[in-house]
Amino acid sequence: MGTVKSSHSTHPAAKNQDTIRRFTWEIASINVHLQELRYFWAKALGISGPQWMILMALADLDQGEGVPVKVVSKMLHVDPSFVTTQSKMLEKKGFMRRKTSDEDARIVQMSLTDKTYKQIASLASQQEALNEFIFAEFNDRELATFTDKLTSLKNRLEKACLKVAIDL
C-alpha cells in the first residue's frame, strides 16, 4: 500500500504556490541578514541601524542641495516624524546638517557632514570586499537583470498592498 500524496503537491498551481512561499521565506531571511549587516556598519560609527539607513539614503540621494525629510522617509518606508527625530540625533552627533529650505520653511533639507563622508569612506573597502563575496555568483549583466526583476516585484508588491488596503 503506497502513501497517499496530497493533491496540493501535484497540482501545477500548488507547486507554484510552494515556490512562492519558499521565495517569500528566502526574501524574509535575506532581509534579516541585511539588517544584521546594517547594524554592523552602524555600530562601527556608534549609531543605530535605522540611523545608518538614513545616512545611506542621504549619501545616495544628495546632489549637493540636501534632501528633504519626506524624500528620505519615503525611500525608507517610515513616517517622516521618525526621520525628523533620528536626524536631529544624528545632527547632535555631527553626522548631518539640517537646514530649512529657502523656498519653503516647512521643508527641512538634510545633508551629510564631511566627517560622515570620511567615516563612510573608511568603511568602503570592507563593504566592497563583502559585496564581492555576497554577489560572487553574478556577473554585472546578471546582477543588473536580477535587480530589475526585484524592482518590478517591489513595484507589484506596493500595488498589491494598496489593492488589499482598498479591498478591506
Query: Domain containing 66: what range?
Result: 14-113
Give the total number of structural domains in the chain. Answer: 1
Indicate whether 94 belongs to any domain. Answer: yes
The answer to pTM > 0.85 is no
80 within domain boundaries: yes
Q: Summarize pLDDT for 40-83 with one digit per residue, the tens.
A: 999 999 999 999 999 999 999 999 989 999 999 999 999 999 99
Q: Which three cell numbers stand for residue 26?
A: 528566502
pLDDT given at position 15: 72
Counting as low any pLDDT under 70, the low residues of the chain are: 1-12
CATH number at residue 101: 1.10.10.10
The secondary structure of 109-149 as a DSSP string is EEEE-HHHHHHHHHHHHHHHHHHHHHTTT--HHHHHHHHHH
